A and B are shown apart, each in its own frame.
Chain A
Amino acid sequence: MGILTWTWIIVGLTFALYIGIAIWSKARTTGDFYVAARQVHPVLNGMATGADWMSAASFISMAGLFAFLGRDGSMYLMGWTGGYVLLAMLLAPYLRKYGKYTVPMFVGERYYSQTARVVAVLCAIFVSFTYVAGQMRGVGVVFSRFLEVDINTGVVIGMAIVFFYAVLGGMKGITYTQVAQYCVLIVAYLIPAIFISFMFTGIPIPQIGLGAALSEAGQRLLHEDAGFLLQKLDQIQRDLGLPAFTQGVKPRIDVFAITLALMVGTAGLPHIIIRFFTTPRVKDARASAGWALLFIAILYTTAPAVGTFAKMNFIKTTHDKSYTEAPSWFKNWEKTGLIVWVDKNGDGKMQYGPGAPFKGKPKLIKTEGGDLKRGEYGQVVVANEVIPNTRNEIYVDRDIMVLANPEIARLPAWVVALVAAGGLAAALSTAAGLLLVISSALSHDLARNVFFPSMTERTELIIARIAAGLAVMMAGYFGIHPPGFVAQVVAFAFGLAASSFFPIIVLGVFWTRTTREGAIAGMLSGIIFTAAYIIYFKFINPAANNPQHWWFGISPEGIGTIGMIINFIVTTVVSLMTKEPPQEVQHMVRNLRYPREA
């Protein structure tokens, strides 16, 4: 059986599974819909959180980021895991004790202010929409690459599936589907990684294989002599004029700021925080954060190994090899524009090195018959303007490191199909979690608490379903018509969460004296500063987006760290200058600290 047949079978089976779970776990009450009736076991909640957290970007792009950034890439690994430590110790148990449904609700009650709550609703909706549009696009991309359907058809199929289980099952349906999706995506990620690690080093555990020496089989495959894999790759990169793989090149201060902004941003993302509302007890909320991080770390510690093996293999099989002898995966993926060769020096061989081969993303040329235009050696041709003063002739998209990995390692067709199913699981699970945040913000925080406080639970459940449905449609729309700035606004999501929610929730729990005025002033100053910095460098004056112009050498990706510090300072100072919170609020805050009424 071919790859395509296998992919349809495996993707079809996983989708049937998700739908089956959705029917089994239909939500009957708003409690079911918002927080899965608080019946989720901490291990299962950990898996669901893992799937919720690991998006299409984690699954498809993480290893590639590491492959091309080397050690600097680990800021993403640390940044996207370290936030769970903050969650477990500073947020999850107290918010679980609080025992309501949404993050804006906590903000509103803790700060005895409808304004604070509405600001929180807007932040939650903005952050979640930014994120969800990217997920839907990811679903479309996986469909088009593996199942050879149009991207937009892919988005629509993805929408239909998410619509079904999010609208029907709410948090309950989403949680149990995410558990299944976690299993699918982690198996899909580990199998190729284990194979490749074994091929190169003879060690089947990728985390150990990465630090190991090449095995004899590995030496033959890569045409290298004996030695540690990482040292070999360092040497190869230096020979090509690239920085050594295990060394960092970015300024320390920027790596520091980006890592911190990602960690704090993780801990402030509403779709992650609400996961901890679903456990039965406070102690389960703590444990759940631990399980979630364990399940996430399994993938995140595998990613650098995958990236490194793939990078090694990529350079060894392409650099200075003539195109006609290029491996078959190169020719397969060339058609997608993810990897492209331009013969600058006219020697028919592919040279890899520092710098870009041409300007921008590859623009493939179609002939009148609708086929791709081919060059002298049969290679795909692009319309981009070539950059003459770089030696590099190969354009390579980082996503290929995961997508083409099974083919690079010559694994059987069903493994390729599994990777497709894994990518879809990662994208769908994250999209569903985000949609729930949007739906509950609309139905619970706006409809019930601001506009129609007297409506019945039945009505609210209907409104929640309609809101979830609308959110799916919106997400689908953005998936089909992606705003050009999706990539840029990802920095926004983390920066905003880091500079708005995190400081005021932490202070709200740990310092009874934090006042309404302090929190509102802190949130606004944090957001406005962060947003202004990002908008300036990303949209108004992108030409100045370089270390010479950044404040303290911190890039827009890391500026959330400064925004967070500003928020902490402003909240504290303003709180000290304003009247202390009402006694009942202070009493509520003290109560959050003890799992049982004491």
Chain B
Amino acid sequence: MLTKDQLQAYWRQNLTYIVVLLSIWFTVSYLFGIILADVLDRIKIFGYPLGFWFACQGAEITFVILIAVYVKLMNNLDRRFGVQEE
């Protein structure tokens, strides 16, 4: 049985993860892929202008990584607080 404090600590930690990961989510798509795309385009990686690359591939790849990281973090958190399922 967890105490009220422990339950709140679990939830606060989850919220922290979400805020951090969604900030990255926002940065790679809305900042790098849209708002700052023209500035980043001055940097070229092979044939890719960087802003263009973020918009058409980089953001999408980052999204996949973000979910993978969240899954891993939450599985650990569940175990630490003993709320994991069998």
| Interface, chain A (partner B; CB < 8 A) | 66, 71, 73-75, 77-78, 81-82, 84-86, 88-90, 93, 207, 210-213, 228-231, 246-248, 252, 255-256, 259-260, 281-283, 286-287, 289-290, 293-294, 297, 300-301, 304, 590, 593-596, 598
CB distance from A289 to the nearest CB of B (A): 6
Give me the 9 closest cross-chain CB pairs, A-B, nearest first: A228-B47, A74-B55, A290-B67, A211-B48, A304-B56, A246-B52, A211-B47, A74-B56, A211-B46
Contact check: which of A246, A256, A596 meets B30 at CB < 8 Å? A256
**Known: A66-B56, A89-B21. Is A301-B61 also a contact (CB below 8 A)?**
yes
Interface pair B70/A301, CB less than 8 Å apart: no
Candidates A78, A246, A289; contact of B67 at CB < 8 Å: A289
- Cross-chain contact of A78 among B11, B33, B51, B71 (Cβ < 8 A): B33
> Do A88 and B70 have beta carbons less than 8 Å apart?
yes
Q: Which residues of A contact B81 (CB under 8 A)?
A: 598
Closest CB of chain B to A466's CB: distance in Å?
A: 36
* A residues less than 8 Å from B11 (CB atoms): 593
Shortest distance between the CB of B46 and any CB in chain A (Å): 4
Also in contact, A283 and B78, with CB within 8 A (given A228-B46, A229-B47, A594-B83):
yes
The reply to whether A77 and B67 form a contact with Cβ atoms under 8 Å apart is no
Give 1 or 0 for each of B51-62: 1 = CB within 8 Å of chain A CB: 111011101110
CA–CA, A207 and B38, complex, Å: 21
Taken residue by residue from 1 to 23, chain B's Cβ proximity to chain A (1 for < 8 Å, 0 otherwise) reads as: 11000010011001001100110
Of listed B34, B53, B56, B78, residue having the most chain A CB within 10 A: B56
What's the Cα separation between A228 and B47 when bound, in Å? 5
Expressed in whole angstroms, the Cα–Cα distance for A120 and B59 within the complex equals: 32
25 A–B contact pairs at CB < 8 A? A71-B55, A73-B56, A74-B52, A74-B55, A77-B60, A78-B29, A78-B60, A81-B59, A82-B59, A85-B63, A89-B17, A89-B70, A210-B48, A211-B47, A211-B53, A212-B46, A213-B46, A248-B34, A248-B37, A248-B38, A252-B34, A256-B35, A290-B70, A297-B60, A596-B83
Q: What's the minimum C-beta distance from B31 to chain A, rounded to whole angstroms?
A: 10
Task: Output the residue of A212, A213, A230 with the most chain B CB within 10 A.
Answer: A230
Q: A78-B29, A259-B30 are in contact. Are A294 and B56 (CB under 8 A)?
A: no
Across-interface contacts of B60 in A (CB, < 8 A):
77-78, 81, 297, 300-301
Chain A residue nearest in CB terms to B15: A510
Contact yes or no, B34 A256, CB < 8 A: yes
**A71 and B21 contacting across the interface, CB-CB below 8 Å:** no
Describe B's contact surface by its main secondary structure.
helix
Contact between chains at A85 and B25 (CB < 8 Å): yes
- Residues of B within 8 Å of A590, CB to CB, are 7
Residue in A78, A256, A287, A595 whose CB lies within 8 Å of B84: A595
Known pairs A297-B61, A593-B14. 20 more at Cβ < 8 A? A71-B52, A74-B56, A75-B55, A210-B56, A212-B46, A228-B46, A248-B38, A255-B34, A256-B35, A259-B30, A260-B30, A283-B71, A283-B74, A283-B75, A283-B84, A283-B85, A301-B61, A593-B11, A595-B85, A596-B84
Q: Are A286 and B45 in contact (CB under 8 A)?
A: no
Q: What is the distance, in angstroms, from A226's C-beta to the closest C-beta of chain B?
A: 12
Nearest A residue to B41 via CB reads A246
Q: Which residues of A contact B48 (CB under 8 A)?
A: 210-211, 230
Evaluate contact between B63 and A297: CB separation under 8 angstroms: yes
Residue pair A82, B71 in contact (C-beta under 8 Å): no
- B83, A598: Cβ atoms under 8 Å? yes
- Whole-angstrom distance between the alpha carbons of A286 and B18 in the complex? 13
When distances are taken between beta carbons in the complex, the residues of chain B under 8 Å from A260 are 30
Give the distance to chain B from A279, nearest Cβ to Cβ, in Å.
11
Name the B residues within 8 Å of A301 (CB-CB): 56-57, 60-61
Task: List, in ascending order, chain A residues with CB within 8 A of B1's CB.
Answer: 598
| Minimum distance in angstroms from A282 CB to a CB of chain B | 6
Bound CA span A84–B65, Å:
12
Contact B49 A230 (CB under 8 A): yes
A594 partner residues in chain B, CB cutoff 8 A: 7, 10, 83
Nearest to A596 among chain B residues (CB) is B83
Chain B residues with CB under 8 Å of A294's CB are 64
Are B85 and A281 closer than 8 Å at their CB atoms?
yes
Contact across chains for A77 and B25 when beta carbons are under 8 A apart: no
Partner of A290, one of B41, B68, B84: B68
Instruction: Chain A residues near B22: list those with CB within 8 A.
Output: 85-86, 89
The smallest C-beta distance from A325 to any residue of chain B, in angstroms, reads 30
Contacts A85-B21, A593-B14, A594-B10; A290 near B71 (Cβ below 8 A): yes
Contact of B71 among A75, A77, A212, A287 (CB under 8 A): A287
> Closest B-chain residue to A245, C-beta based?
B52
Q: Do A74 and B33 have beta carbons less than 8 Å apart?
A: yes
Question: In the complex, are the beta carbons of A211 and B33 less than 8 A apart?
Answer: no
Are A231 and B47 neighbours in the complex by a CB distance under 8 Å? yes
| Neighbouring A residues of B83 by C-beta, 8 Å | 594-596, 598
In the complex, are the beta carbons of A293 and B14 less than 8 A apart? Answer: no
Q: How far is the CB of B13 from chain A (nearest CB, A)?
A: 11
Least Cβ–Cβ distance between A62 and chain B, in angstroms: 11
The answer, among B47, B55, B67, B84, for a CB contact under 8 Å with A88, is: B67
Partner of B64, one of A90, A211, A290: A290
CA distance A282 to B70 in the complex (A): 13
Chain B residue at minimum C-beta to C-beta distance from A250: B34
Name the B residues within 8 Å of A90 (CB-CB): 18
Q: How near does chain B come to A286, taking the closest CB pair, in angstroms?
A: 5
